[in-house]
Chain A
């Protein structure tokens, strides 16, 4: 079946550092890809998405490019802030059944930014 693999955490960086969180996937067909973020004590929120090869999703300074040739969707940010501390999940849309979207999630990467 389809699967998502993220780099293991936790990741700790200093403020203004460059961030990369790796994500690779295994899938049949051409799934949509997502990054969700979970702040402490909250549910997941969509951070960005890409629906086809070479698409770049971006939001709040974060970017990720859908790379079909390497089956990857790495998350990057040029200069992180303390407020970016959270758990980040990579996910793919496994299938759509009667309008319901079945997502497959990676295991999550905990990011801590120190001032």
Chain B
């Protein structure tokens, strides 16, 4: 009963290092999302993928890239990490089309940039 699985759970990077956050879902969902969660700011959408083979920018895409590897997997890459990217990152997925279907979230990756 995995749902949405994110790896790693914790990571510490130095400024300028690169890293890829992994996300996989086993619910056969078409759409996947990456959010960042910062204190007092709720969740903000970084990128999303409506379906396999498509990706689009969200509210805060600068400094990130994504890859929808297949229907199950959606990765987030930081090419040159900056302290402003210290945050908790959540991956989510959703199934059938429509604006009232819930998104299912992973447990998050806590990322610190020194």
Contact at B107–A32, with CB atoms within 8 Å? no
- Report the separation of the CA atoms of residues A71 and B87 in the bound assembly, to the nearest whole angstrom: 31
Within A22-58, the residues touching B (CB, 8 Å) are 31-32, 34, 41-46, 49, 51
With a CB–CB cut-off of 8 A, which chain A residues contact B108?
Answer: 42-43
Contact partner, A100, options B48, B105, B106, B107, Cβ 8 Å: B48
**Contact string against A for B residues 15-44, beta-carbon threshold 8 Å, 1 for contact and 0 otherwise:** 000000000000000110100000011111
- Report the separation of the CA atoms of residues A31 and B41 in the bound assembly, to the nearest whole angstrom: 21
With a CB–CB cut-off of 8 A, which chain A residues contact B58?
Answer: 102
Contact partner, A31, options B51, B97, B99, B102, Cβ 8 Å: B99
Contact at A42–B51, with CB atoms within 8 Å? no
With a CB–CB cut-off of 8 A, which chain A residues contact B97?
Answer: 96, 99
Closest-by-CB residue of B relative to A51 is B100
Q: Is B56 an interface residue (CB 8 A)?
A: yes
Distance in angstroms from A24 CB to nearest chain B CB is 14
Within B72-114, the residues touching A (CB, 8 Å) are 90, 92, 94, 96-103, 105-108
Contact partner, B50, options A99, A105, A106, Cβ 8 Å: A99
Number of chain B residues close to chain A: CB under 8 A: 32
Closest-by-CB residue of B relative to A9 is B40
With a CB–CB cut-off of 8 A, which chain A residues contact B103?
Answer: 44, 46, 101, 103
Contact at B107–A42, with CB atoms within 8 Å? yes
Distance in angstroms from A4 CB to nearest chain B CB is 8
Distance in angstroms from B7 CB to nearest chain A CB is 14
Q: Is A81 an interface residue (CB 8 A)?
A: no
With a CB–CB cut-off of 8 A, which chain A residues contact B45?
Answer: 102-103
Q: Which residues of A approach B to under 8 Å, CB–CB?
A: 4, 31-32, 34, 41-46, 49, 51, 89, 93, 95-103, 105-108
Q: Which residues of B approach A to under 8 Å, CB–CB?
A: 4, 30-31, 33, 40-45, 48-51, 54, 56, 58, 90, 92, 94, 96-103, 105-108
